[in-house]
A = this chain, B = another copy of it.
Amino acid sequence: MRALRKTRPAAGAELAEVPVPTPGPGEVLIGVEAASICGTDLHIYGWNDWAAKRIGPARLPYTFGHELAGRVVAAGPGVRHPEPGEFVAAETHLFCGHCGLCRTGKPHICQNMKILGVDVDGAFADFVLLPAHNAWVVDPRIPPAEASIMEPFGNAVHTAFPSGADPELTTSTVAILGCGPIGLFAVGVARAAGARTVIAVEPNEFRRGLAKEMGADRLVDPAQEDPVAAVLEATEGLGAEVVMEMSGVPTVIDQGTRMLQHGGRLSLLGLPDGPVSLDLTDQVIFKEARVFGVTGRELFRSWQQTTTLLATGMVDVRPVITGRFPLERFEEAFDAAGSGRSGKIVLSIGAG
């Protein structure tokens, strides 16, 4: 089968022929139909410092990619669900299933987590192995390309609705910091959930345009105006009830605390590279802010919510999918994904 592989600790990747893997106990083999490119994949493709450290040369060669949708073609011993022929998307966080967190309903923060396409061979290939429990049967109303982005869409859903979220989005002013694909999805989610006002902060003009299409009420270009001032102005000086931080930029996270209303919630999904300096006294403690770390998706609550939002058309993600390429044109696809004039780029692989 074809597989897009990192073969050397350097930028680039190679489309190679490798054997089709065989599902072991509890695994399914999926014929990939669509796989979308995540920011993580850009890091791996470009082999930046993070990739060099997180993955390292010892694992090479290996197949990367993790956001995928495809059809189950074979199942290993002991697998009852899903059945061959079912069309699935992949939960890419490979939880261990037996640590205390997995056992108490929080496998998404498993203490022994591995990641598809990072720690094991991934989805930029004709076939991929997946633990059966990580396969989510896709509602037939969701087409393959959109199914492949359920995983990052689920990140947006989780950031919007973490368990115990308070305040909720409905009737709240919601600021979304950073409009990469997940931020753009979050705009649509906030709109669908009945936010009062959705304020999108993003320096890239093209992406601000997509945020507008996804339903943002107010666009802020941080190069032109202070995002904190913009949010305060839009809220009679009170600040936003909910801030979703999608950029991972330390100064933006700091701004996120400053634009927060007393009693507000700051959900952090973006991953800063280094330490972040915050004014906890005035911006968190006196405000009684709730700062929620968010990672992955709640299993599988976030997937169920994602299914509803996509299958019913409550959120239309098509504006965000700005490019589709066959697997063999992966170089163009990665160029597009890294260009700054894109939303989500999808690789079409199999029948999809």
Contacts and interface: CB of A to CB of B under 8 A. Distances in A.
Contact of A278 (B248, B278, B286, B287): B278
Contacts of A268: 280, 284-285
A37 B248 CA distance: 42
Contacts of A281: 248, 271-273
Interface stretch (A60-68, A301-309, A339-347): A301-309
A285 B271 contact: yes
Of A80, A280, A298, A299, which is in contact with the most chain B CB atoms at under 10 Å from its CB? A280
Number of identical protomers: 4
Interface string A75-101: 001101100000000000000011011
A322 interface: no
- Majority secondary structure, A binding face: loop
A314 B98 CA distance: 26
A175 to B, nearest CB: 16
A25 interface: yes
Interface residues of A, number: 70
Interface stretch (A9-17, A162-170, A206-214): A162-170
B170 A288 contact: no
Contacts of A56: none
A279 interface: yes
A48 interface: no
Contacts of A278: 275-278
Interface stretch (A140-148, A178-186, A192-200, A226-234): A192-200
A292 B265 CA distance: 10
A304 B101 CA distance: 10
A55 interface: no
Of A192, A262, A287, which is in contact with the most chain B CB atoms at under 10 Å from its CB? A262
